[in-house]
Structure 1
Amino acid sequence: MSRVLITGATGLVGGILLRMLQNDPRVSAIAAPTRRPLHAGAGIFNPHDPQLTDALAQVTDPVDIVFCCLGTTRREAGSKEAFVLADYTLVVDTALTGLRQGARHMLVVSAMGASLNSPFFYNRVKGKMEQTLTEQGWPRLTIARPAMLIGERKKRRVNESLFAPLFRLLPGDWKSIEARDVASAMLNTAFSPMAEQVTILSSSELRQRAND
């Protein structure tokens, strides 16, 4: 039985993953710190604070596995600084909380094209996040790099609405992916036998692991 920490549970992938975790008999406890309260039913420890770091500080029980599904866009965040807070700082804070509570495996949603050397700000921030988590020395780190996500968001993203039909037709890793497949792949990977210390899953690999 595993004790789980999850951040991003109010988002597209995180919300689906949270429901999967609730129904998984291998999970004995779930801590899901959020900015606003969840309505996810009994059995979930949900410290909430507009400052997510303060909510994370309330996680004091041992944890085995960490899932981080935090993510936004620069447009939604409103500024470069706010985007870095959401997609870098709070992800690192999640990881540090997990390490402090004894977690051995972290799984994080990044993005296709994440790279410190990318010409695009979004991908550079994702690349910096990946590098920082890798340098933390996790016994096991899984990085998911999905293509454009498909799913029902509470708040629509304009670019996803416009380009989703096109990305459904693209081949390989460029093809858009269902948020449910990303969540399923992360859950399946979390309970799979130990592999490499750091595993990077492309969009195609995520789709395959979702069906394992």
Structure 2
Amino acid sequence: MTTPYTALLAGATGLVGRECLRLLVADAACAEVRVLLRRPLPAADRHPKVRECVVDFGRLAEHAEWFAVDEVFCALGTTIKVAGSQAAFRRVDHDYPLQIAELAQSQGARGLHVVSALGANARSSVFYNRVKGELEDALKALRFASLTIAQPSLLLGERAEFRLGEEVAKRFAWLIPGPWRPVRAVQVAAGLVNAARAARPGVRVLGNTELRSAAN
């Protein structure tokens, strides 16, 4: 993509979202980044190119004008432990991303670039994988001109909270078969931003192995 574009980013305070925001701000072709937030960004993440859109995610439709952008990046995600229930998890990992995509499409967005997960499958017996797969299927049905789905394995990066599983994975990553090895959050973000720049038509799935080789 060589012409200036506007972007919408959801999940900017998360592991991948923070890296997406950094890369979009650094991209000379990106004229503006509209960031959907529950609360204002930390001062260190603010930039003249960034427009903070503080919103109740349960009332996204009240701000349809925010979704009039060229490219949409969605890195929303939680865990059942943090969400508190399967229903709350589904709301964050399925319902909100789908509504964001629908609103952006209705406002003329061309590209959608989303973080899913390795193993996503709408027919999976694993709840987490099933929700991710159902979201992927719903997004494909919207038929964006360009849709990128990243399917990372365990994400590595600087988290606010300690996660034992991630620390174990860091130490023993060399024992994990290639396709399932942990991937750095910045590599996932780079895969999505690079895909938006390329603006290839149709659906593109970035598997974990491809993400781990992404330049950043």
Normalising by structure 1, we get a TM-score of 0.92
After superposition, give the CA deviation of every residue in 1:147-193 in whole Å (9 maximum; x if it has no partner): 10000111233432344433453222101100011111111111115
- 1:182 pairs with 2:181: no
What is the aligned counterpart of 1:126 among 125, 132, 151? Answer: 132
> More deviation in 172-181 or 36-45?
36-45
What is the aligned counterpart of 1:211 among 198, 201, 215? Answer: 215
**Equivalent pair of 2:76/2:97 in contact (CA under 8 Å):** yes
Task: Give the distance between the partners of 1:33 and 1:79, measured in 2 at CA.
Answer: 23
Larger helix fraction of residues: 2
Q: Secondary structure at the match of 2:40?
A: coil
> More deviation in 134-143 or 162-171?
162-171
Name 2:50's counterpart in structure 1.
44
Alignment of 1:5-84 (within 5 A): 5-39=8-42, 40-41=45-46, 42-49=48-55, 51-54=56-59, 57-58=62-63, 60-61=65-66, 62-84=68-90
| Stretches of 4+ aligned residues off by more than 4 angstroms | none
Name 2:153's counterpart in structure 1.
147
Q: What RMSD over aligned residues (CA atoms) do the two structures have, in Å?
A: 1.7
Aligned residues: 209
**Equivalent pair of 1:168/1:176 in contact (CA under 8 Å):** no
How big is the shift at 1:60?
Answer: 1.0
Task: Give the distance between the partners of 1:119 and 1:160, measured in 2 at CA.
Answer: 24
Q: Which runs of 5+ in 2 are unaligned?
A: none
Note closer, same or farther for the CA distance 1:2–1:171 as it changes in structure 2 (3 Å cut): same
> More deviation in 126-135 or 152-161?
152-161
Q: Secondary structure at the match of 1:66?
A: strand
How big is the shift at 1:199?
Answer: 0.9
Normalising by structure 2, we get a TM-score of 0.90
